[in-house]
Amino acid sequence: MIRHPFTWAFGAAAVTGALLYTAGVWRAMDVALNWMPARADSGQLRREVRAETASLLGRWSLGCLAAAAAMGLFGIAVIWPNLIPGAMCGTGVLQAMGADGIRAMIFWGAALIILYGWHVIDRLDRFFPRGLLIQPCARLMILSAPFLLLALFHSWRALLNVDATPAVSCCAAVYDKVLDEQAAGLISAGAIPMVLWGSLAGGVVLLAAALQKIRAPFRGSCAWLGVMAPFWMVAAGVGVKQVWSAYYYQVLSHPCPWCLFLPDHNGAGFFIYGAIAMVFAECTVLFLIDRVRRRHEALAGPAAKRIRRGGRRIVFALVVFTVLTMGPALCWRLRTGVWLGG
């Protein structure tokens, strides 16, 4: 265990969020299994109280869990590298944590995206007094339980692994991996440009779709946004790692995304990957809202407002991502007359 006040703060936020979530899910299970809006007996009235309580506890738990996830990311990127021998950035921290570190990040992301979707649908349901979405909200809240449990389990394992791990090689491991991939022929000359142009084209398409949703929320389906967003997220992440990060480091063959989070680069990684996460989250939410709107026409008005808001957030995130990735590259080109890598 990394004995540092920041680690205890992360653990306190995670445990508090998990306890609040457990209390909310316990009430949501009764709502999901036994909700009968046509009845007005004592059991149904009790379930209505439990639904309101679950909603309140869910919002509090989401705040605590999101804070814990942000603290964990900040700890991996900035705080804990100073406490692990040989670590210079998040790469060394994850190397010390072993496979549990990566697994914890994956499950944290899955749990939070499900809870964020629940939060949006829950707020949408409050615009209509009949509670059309109370039971689906309860089911969506319960759906995140296994992911959150695995996130907490692997986070605990990852922090325990640090004490049993010898000094790490950190960025030296990045160079070794690059050399191994080049020797094995895993990095082809056309693969990186293909991913880069795919990321740029996908960003343009998502931008056009978001602008269309701002102007006409119900024109066309949002289903393809939910399908396209994961592919763009992967392509954008690879593009940042393989191409755009070089203009921050001003060296080649150093595809380390974690160095972007360091103060030496003004913490650009938080904003770049935060913009990618926002695009993915809002595209997923637009997909959910579109499905809700098609099934419940009474919620068309609030759904239209939320779709417009989501479109504006996607546009904002894409602009931030573009400025922080292409901006340094264009400045380098104007200053030197060449691109890094030829």
Give the pLDDT confidence of 298-327 residue by residue, as tens digits: 888 888 999 999 999 999 999 999 999 999
> Has residue 83 got a pLDDT over 70?
yes
For the chain, percent of residues with pLDDT exceeding 90: 46
Residue 56: its pLDDT value, please?
Answer: 94
Handedness of CA 210, 211, 215, 221 (dihedral sign): negative
CA atoms of 161 and 138, how far apart (whole Å) = 36
CA atoms of 276 and 279, how far apart (whole Å) = 5
> Has residue 122 got a pLDDT over 70?
yes
Each residue's pLDDT tens digit, 40-65: 788 888 888 998 999 999 999 999 99
> Has residue 256 got a pLDDT over 80?
yes
**Tokens standing for 245?**
């990060």
CA 9 vs. chain centroid, Å, equals 21
Give the residue from 336, 265, 273 showing the smallest Cα distance to 78.
Answer: 265
106-112, Cβ contacts within 8 angstroms, sequence gap of 24 or more? 107/147, 107/148, 107/150, 107/151, 107/154, 108/69, 108/72, 108/151, 108/155, 109/69, 109/277, 110/144, 110/147, 110/151, 111/65, 111/144, 111/147, 111/148, 111/151, 112/62, 112/65, 112/66, 112/69
What integer is the mean pLDDT of 10-25? 95
Environment class of 49 (CB within 10 Å of its CB; exposed 0-12, middle 13-18, buried 19+): exposed
Give the residue from 147, 329, 308 showing the smallest Cα distance to 213.
Answer: 308
Residue 15 in contact with residue 159, Cβ under 8 Å? no
Residue 195 in contact with residue 239, Cβ under 8 Å? yes
> Has residue 23 got a pLDDT over 70?
yes
Q: Which residue type sits at 97?
A: M
Each residue's pLDDT tens digit, 162-213: 765 666 776 655 555 554 444 344 444 456 677 788 888 889 999 999 999 9
Environment class of 161 (CB within 10 Å of its CB; exposed 0-12, middle 13-18, buried 19+): middle
CA–CA–CA angle 273, 276, 279 (5° rounding)? 150
Q: How many helices (H) and strands (E) does the chain have?
A: 12, 0
Q: How far is CA 5 from CA 79, 106, 218, in A?
A: 10, 24, 49
Residue 185: its pLDDT value, please?
Answer: 44
What integer is the mean pLDDT of 217-230? 84
Residue 342: its pLDDT value, please?
Answer: 54
Each residue's pLDDT tens digit, 148-165: 999 999 999 998 887 656
Residue 125 parent element (H or E): helix 99-125
